[in-house]
Amino acid sequence: MNRPLWWLAALAWAGLTFWFSSSPDAQGAAGWLDLSPPRDKLFHAANFGVLGLLILFASGRPLLAVLLASLYGAVDELHQATVPGRSADVADWVADTLGAAFAVTLAVLWQRQRARDRLAR
C-alpha cells in the first residue's frame, strides 16, 4: 500500500476514534465491550497502537508516529471533556501514548530483524 493510502487509513482510524469518543455513554458505540477500568486502558493502548502503526506506515518516521498519535490522544481527551457524561482523563492519554510507543517500537524492531535476516541470506 502506498503512503497516501496509509495516511487515509490513519485519518479514517482517527475519525472512528472521534466517533466513539463523541458518545455521551462512556461505553460509546462499543457498548458490547466491557470498558470498565482497568480494561479501558488496554482499549486505549490498543486503539492508539493501531493509530501509531498507521502513521508509521504512512510517514516512515517512528518518532513522528508516536508524537502524532500522542497529540491526537490529548486532543481526543480534551474533546471528551466537552461531551456530556464524559470527562478528560490524563491516565487515558498516558495509555494512548504508551500504546502508540509500544506498537511503533515493536514494528521498528521487527523491520530491523527482517533487514538483518535478508542480509544474512
Residue-wise pLDDT tens digits, 24-50: 876 555 565 666 778 889 999 999 999
The pLDDT of residue 101 is 99
In a domain, 27, yes or no: no
The pLDDT of residue 1 is 75
Mean pLDDT for the stretch of residues 76-100: 95
Question: How many other CB atoms are there within 10 angstroms of residue 74's CB atom?
Answer: 15
In a domain, 105, yes or no: yes
Asked if 77 and 35 count as a contact pair (C-beta separation under 8 A), the reply is: no
pTM comes to 0.90
Domain count, the chain: 1
Residue-wise pLDDT tens digits, 52-72: 999 999 999 999 999 999 999
For 40, the domain range is: 3-21+35-120
In a domain, 93, yes or no: yes
Rounded to whole angstroms, how far apart are CA atoms 53 and 7?
A: 11
Rounded to whole angstroms, how far apart are CA atoms 118 and 110?
A: 12
Mean pLDDT rounded to a whole number for the chain: 91
In a domain, 28, yes or no: no
In a domain, 26, yes or no: no
In a domain, 29, yes or no: no
